[in-house]
Amino acid sequence: MSQIQLLSMDFDGTLVRHWASPTYPDELVRLLHQLRRNGVFLAFNTGRTIRLVEEALQVTGFPVRPDFALTSEREVFRWNGSLWEDYGEWNSRCREEHDSLFANCAALLVQIERHLESTTAARLHYDENRFSGVVSTTNAEMDEICRFIETKRFEFPDFAYQRNSIYLRFCHLAYNKGTALAELQRLIGIPSEATFAAGDNFNDLPMLNLTFARFLACPSNALEEVKATVRNQGGFVASQDSGFGICEALRYFFPNLP
């Protein structure tokens, strides 16, 4: 198993499912424990905040705590045995750049805010009184919201967003699941050639790239755009959903797993 040293895995919809029972297969737990006994690190690469990572572990009962959590599609945390801590200087730099971005894009944010309030039923999300994201009522509505933002953001080259279904978070272009993974790889000295990445939604696309991981996979419930991205790079598209599909992918890439 020397060829794999790091697993970068989305949580909701990839490792666990919320639409059927069981939430995750026992086989997945066995495989993850075996990989970690072989010295492989596990990172949850998620849109959840670090607080919501803890909540997810408790609510789902998922019994494998990761070594690292890449949260909000941009932050890097390490589990020190008792609590989560910022890993390196990435998070402080990330916060500074986002503060600067939101200040520089204030006029754009006001324009988006007014448009959504007047033309959609979407719920606007605020973080510390700062307009930071959107929750739409349907995927079709979010499609329209994204199209509107695309027509406006060209004047602000660093302004971007991450989308997961009906959820959207504004962000700096330089921060996403892929660049957070690259920073973790730099900190622990593991190359992309020894990294496995798996996800199912739009916000996973930045890490589902050979630049960041040699082994790419997605479950059967992944969006068609995600499946195409994985397939076009020689990755594995599973026939089963969520954690069941990830078991397929791990056994496909690493057939010597017991």
Cα(195)–Cα(213) distance, integer angstroms: 5
Is 187 within the bounds of a domain? yes
Residue (of 35, 25, 67) closest to 194 by Cα position:
35
Q: Give the model confidence (pLDDT) of 116-130 as tens digits.
A: 999 999 999 999 899
**232 near 209, Cβ under 8 Å?**
no
**11 near 50, Cβ under 8 Å?**
no
Domain carrying residue 100:
91-172
**Same domain, yes or no, for 185 and 247?**
yes
Last residue of a domain, one of 151, 172, 193: 172
Q: What percent of the chain has pLDDT over 70?
A: 99
Q: Give the model confidence (pLDDT) of 105-118 as tens digits.
A: 999 999 999 999 99
Q: Which two tokens stand for residue 154?
A: 């060209």
Average pLDDT over all residues of the chain: 97
Vertex 116, ends 173 and 164: CA angle to 5°? 45
Query: How is the chain classified by DSSP, letter by letter?
Result: -TT--EEEE--BTTTB-SSSSSSS-HHHHHHHHHHHHTT-EEEEE-SS-HHHHHHHHHHH------SEEEETTTEEEEE-SSSEEE-TTHHHHHHHHHHHHHHHTHHHHHHHHHHHHHH--PEEEEETTEEEEEE-SSHHHHHHHHHHHHHHGGG-TTEEEEEETTEEEEEETT-SHHHHHHHHHHHHT--GGGEEEE--SGGGTTTSSTTT-SEEEE-TTS-HHHHHHHHHTT-EE-SS-HHHHHHHHHHHH-TT--
Residue 222 sits in a domain whose CATH number is 3.40.50.1000
User: Model-level pTM?
Assistant: 0.95
Last residue of a domain, one of 140, 172, 204: 172
**pLDDT at 222 exceeding the cut of 50:** yes
Residue 258: the pLDDT is 83
**Same domain, yes or no, for 112 and 182?**
no
Is 102 within the bounds of a domain? yes
Q: Give the model confidence (pLDDT) of 48-101 as tens digits.
A: 999 999 999 999 999 999 999 999 999 999 999 999 999 999 999 999 999 999
Residue (of 86, 87, 45, 56) closest to 176 by Cα position:
45
Residue 99: the pLDDT is 96
Residue 242: the pLDDT is 98
Is 80 within the bounds of a domain? no
Domains: count for the chain: 2
Residue 208: the pLDDT is 98
**pLDDT at 2 exceeding the cut of 80:** no
Mean pLDDT to the nearest integer, 207-226: 98
Could you check whether the bond before residue 22 is cis, i.e. omega within 30 degrees of 0?
Answer: yes
Last residue of a domain, one of 172, 203, 231: 172
Q: Which two tokens stand for residue 142?
A: 């979010």
What's the pLDDT band for 1 if we cut at 50, 70, 90? very low
φ/ψ bin of 72: left (φ > 0), alpha (ψ from -120 to 50), beta (otherwise): left
What letter represents residue 82's amino acid? S
Residue 107: the pLDDT is 96
